[in-house]
Chain A
Amino acid sequence: MAERCAVIGVGQTRHASARTDVSIAGLVREAATRALEDAALDWADIDAVVIGKAPDMFEGVMMPELYLAPALGAVGKPMIRVHTAGSVGGSTALVAAHLVSSGVHDRVLTVAFEKQSDSDAMWALSVPQPFSPPLLAGAGGYFAPIIRAYMRRSGAPDHIGILVAVKDRLHALKNPYAHLHIEDISFDMVKESIMLWDPIRYLETCPSSDGAAAMVLASERVADSASLSAPPAWVHGMAMRSEPTMFAGRDQVAPRASADCAADVYDQAGITEPRREIQVAEVYVPFSWYEPMWLESLGFAAPGEGWKLTDAGATSLDGGDIPWNASGGVLSSNPIGASGMLRFLEAAMQARGQAGEHQVDGVRRALGHAYGGGSQFFAMWVLGTDKP
């Protein structure tokens, strides 16, 4: 039987297209310091550090955790570096949580970051590989055909993606850390933005951000005795799943690894009706259309019906019954390696009542979600206000 694990501290940076005011070490330390302050702990209290980021080529530093060890107070301690593509921020939090739930450690600091302004992600994602045709089109070029397949399959009307893009940017206006604050965001502004990869318009895609996220995870003993300004968020379930990038039997629109991962995490948390039993979800939506797609895959809507929830405003902070990405989501801040951890962290903030202007009322359980690769790596956790 696993030990109980709780989030007792969260911290994130101000996200921006270029944080030229800080080094990589300064960036991660900004988030980690805030997480420690929130947990009312000092560097010396931490048992181990788990750090994650997307490909090293995004900054041009090989295994940057080596250089970051002193900045994160890891000297003399165990330090692990996770890399699972876009899902890495979520997977990193899970590896850290397992260090607690396995009984190995009591207080683990977990950090994820990306400093995209140090290089060009588009280039770094497009390195030619032997025997593979280079896409030279970044992630959007990869996902656009999958989105078109979803639209055909579900009969979703063209405007759904625009609705998501507007909604998440409206949410971001309530989040002081968000990279994008587009005060006059509107349906027409998104609709008229340039088409990048049909059907993904410029304003339907995520930005390129510098940023970091950090959390302190603790055992029950530590969480119970800590004097915190906000209550702990308890881990009710955590799961990861992977499937191959390509093979004939794979459904890229509705990946089985996603459904399996959700089923596992709901089973652990005792959830049978996610839309009713989860009050807020932070889900990895880097391109607008992934909201309706994940609504279906994560069991918030029946297959083919996800877009109807979006269309009806169910996922909006403004009157929706199941707000998705109250923080503004990946569409509003995208430090790639940290984007997944921000979902996990925002779920914790909601469960702890720390989300300020974008706080959802009456949260008892929150979902954090990340995906990566060619829609093939999934990491999820469900947090709750009560002990599991």
Chain B
Amino acid sequence: MNRPVRPVAVVAFAQSKNVRREDHRNEVEMLMPVVGEVFAKVGMTKDEMGFVCSGSSDYLVGAPFSFVMALDAVGAWPPMRESHVEMDGAWALYEAWTLLQEGELDTALVYSFGRSSPTQLDKVLALQLDPYTLAPLWPDPVAVAALQAQALIDAGLASEADFAEVAARSRRDALGNPNAQVAVDKSVDQLLADDYVVRPLRRHCLPPISDGSAAIVLAAGDRAIQVCARPAWITGIDHRIETHQLGARDLTASPSTTAAARGAGFLGNGDDGAPGTRVDVAELHAPFAHQELVLRRALGLSDDVAVNPSGGALAANALMVAGLTRIGEAAQRIIDGSAQRALAHATSGPCLQQNLVCALAATPEAGTTTSEGGA
């Protein structure tokens, strides 16, 4: 960053209930109540939004330009400043945050939607891989994730019981989240009695297949304080990508998460962490149970941090939405007064290839976002 960070905050978050199959509503109908709710929370309307940005994937809908009709959920009339990323909505939020940094716009609506039910995810996500060397083998997403889980076990960094522990805690916490899709109280021993899906992953290590949507309103400076009693200020946000070739990566680590966290001004919650940036809660986008363990290490989170009190992506995993939801859930803890500082994380691509970290706080102190780039 070449100049001081302009204080920008999450002032409202809304999400749909995540369900296995949204049979009776199309994308616009899924989004409309969520967009309506997020505006109602801050008493604002679409006409007050300086910018609108969304995230979604055509391949989930099975149609080109799926975001075009989704814009009808907002009602872009009169015409709006508007853009779209073919990514998780967390990156749409990053784009909106960037525009607000220029100082000419004060507000933005960010939304995303994902409906996996009409697709065959095992086939569709294989098309995310290198089209020449990997996709023709049709590796399904569970098999790809299993490589990473096995690498953790082989390196002595985790056990199958550790995976089960993450899953048990996440689904138990999800009992308190009315928007979660999978919420259940089961012991680690019960979970370990499951059959393998792809060794070493059992059913409980996998995310659910979800349909859902989410929306966030961002506001800068005084505008945030006007509409929200306790805005969740973004003190830093950054993201990084790694190489795509799984064989060229150390799948047990996530250097892009570490770099993004540093860029966002978060230096860890362990002994090395700067005391001023310690967080109370972290919402990590870990679709597979073992990925939470990778992320905890990459971020340097100590055991006293509440990780994924919402249940995380193991409880609800609408693709293109789950990352934005992590930012929303983390921000909500600040907005409702239960946390002073929070960390949110979003991921994209196989085995945590691309990662975004957003640091949030109840006070808009100067952030240390650097984004100096460079590998």
Contact = CB atoms under 8 A, between A and B. Distances in A.
A74 interface: yes
A366 to B, nearest CB: 22
A78 B373 contact: yes
Contact of A69 (B52, B69, B243): B243
Contacts of B20: none
Q: Size class of A's contact patch?
A: 35 or more
B276 interface: no
B86 A47 contact: no
Contact of B83 (A61, A99, A240, A373): A240
A79 B102 contact: no
Contacts of B283: none
Contact of B239 (A46, A78, A219): A78
A125 B64 CA distance: 6
Contacts of A191: none
Interface residues of B, number: 70
B64 A78 contact: no
Given A78-B238, A104-B98, A56 B76 contact: no
Interface in A62-83: 62-70, 74-83
A84 to B, nearest CB: 5
Nearest to A92: B83
Nearest to A69: B241
A240 B81 contact: yes
A76 B243 CA distance: 8
Interface stretch (A223-231, A244-252, A350-358): A244-252
Contact of B86 (A44, A63, A131): A63
Given A84-B84, A103-B2, A243-B76, A66 B64 contact: no
Interface string B75-89: 111111111111100
Contacts of B82: 240-242, 377
A104 B375 contact: no
B299 to A, nearest CB: 17
Interface string B55-91: 0011100111101110110011111111111110001
A91 B373 contact: no
B269 interface: no
Nearest to A74: B241
A121 B210 CA distance: 30
Contacts of B64: 54-55, 57, 124-125, 127
**Which one of A54, A63, A221 has the greatest number of beta carbons of chain B within 10 Å?**
A63
Given A76-B259, A255-B79, 12 more contacts: A3-B3, A47-B373, A56-B59, A57-B59, A62-B59, A62-B125, A63-B86, A81-B85, A83-B85, A98-B99, A104-B2, A376-B68
Interface of B: 1-3, 26, 52, 57-59, 62-65, 67-69, 71-72, 75-87, 91, 94-95, 98-99, 101-104, 124-125, 127-132, 135, 238-245, 255-256, 259, 348-350, 353-354, 369, 371-375
Interface of A: 1-3, 23-24, 44, 46-48, 54-57, 59-70, 74-85, 91, 94-95, 98-99, 101-107, 124-125, 127, 129-131, 219, 221, 239-245, 247, 249-250, 255-257, 260-261, 373-374, 376-377
